[in-house]
Amino acid sequence: MSDTVEIFTDGACKGNPGPGGWGALLVCKGVEKELWGGESTTTNNRMELTAAIRGLQELKRGCDVLLVTDSEYVMKGINEWMVNWKKRGWKTAAKQPVKNADLWQQLDEQVNRHQVKWQWVRGHNGHAGNERADDLANRGVDEVRGMRPAQAAR
């Protein structure tokens, strides 16, 4: 693992559930790559998870990653809850299925490919990387709502 990549992620939803978008800004050695997308019916938490997954998936080889998110749900899930969910076969302490288990499992798979350090930032607080990720997530929402032409290549 040599290259250090910063990934700024965000999710957005207009209604919860409703049309949603995700955005990820990858920065490595001064080079930036923007990723975004959306779904017509989803939740904010699913979009936050998708942003992190898609950002990590974009990396073609193992990297040292600083992943910056404003999602307390993602931070608590990855740092506190996931270890016990896995021990219990993706069940909560109340023996209920974990919400968004499909995405948590994908995130776990991606995290295991890299050395990931997680950082939480307060959303909509002027953090440049987070603001860019928020803009990308809203672009994803606008595209699925037909308010902005879809981009052919991401």
Q: Active site includes 89? A: no
Q: Active site includes 64? A: no
**Phi/psi-derived region of residue 29, left when phi > 0, alpha when psi is between -120 and 50, beta in every other case:** left
Catalytic site residue from 134, 140, 142, 143: 134
User: Does residue 134 have a known ligand-binding role?
Assistant: yes
Catalytic site residue from 6, 39, 48, 143: 48
Q: Active site includes 3? A: no
Q: Active site includes 10? A: yes
User: Does residue 10 have a known ligand-binding role?
Assistant: yes
User: Does residue 70 have a known ligand-binding role?
Assistant: yes
Q: Active site includes 142? A: no
Q: Active site includes 39? A: no
Catalytic site residue from 70, 129, 142, 143: 70
User: Does residue 135 have a known ligand-binding role?
Assistant: no
Catalytic site residue from 15, 32, 72, 124: 124
Contact between residue 134 and residue 12 where contact means Cβ atoms under 8 Å apart: yes
Q: Which residues pair with 12 in a beta bridge?
A: 21
User: How wide is the angle at C-alpha 109 spanned by C-alphas 33 and 65, nearest 5°?
Assistant: 40
Site of tokens 């302490």: 93
List the binding residues for Mg(2+).
10, 48, 70, 134
Which amino acids are annotated catalytic? 10-11, 48, 70, 124, 134
Residue stretches of the annotated binding site:
10, 48, 70, 134
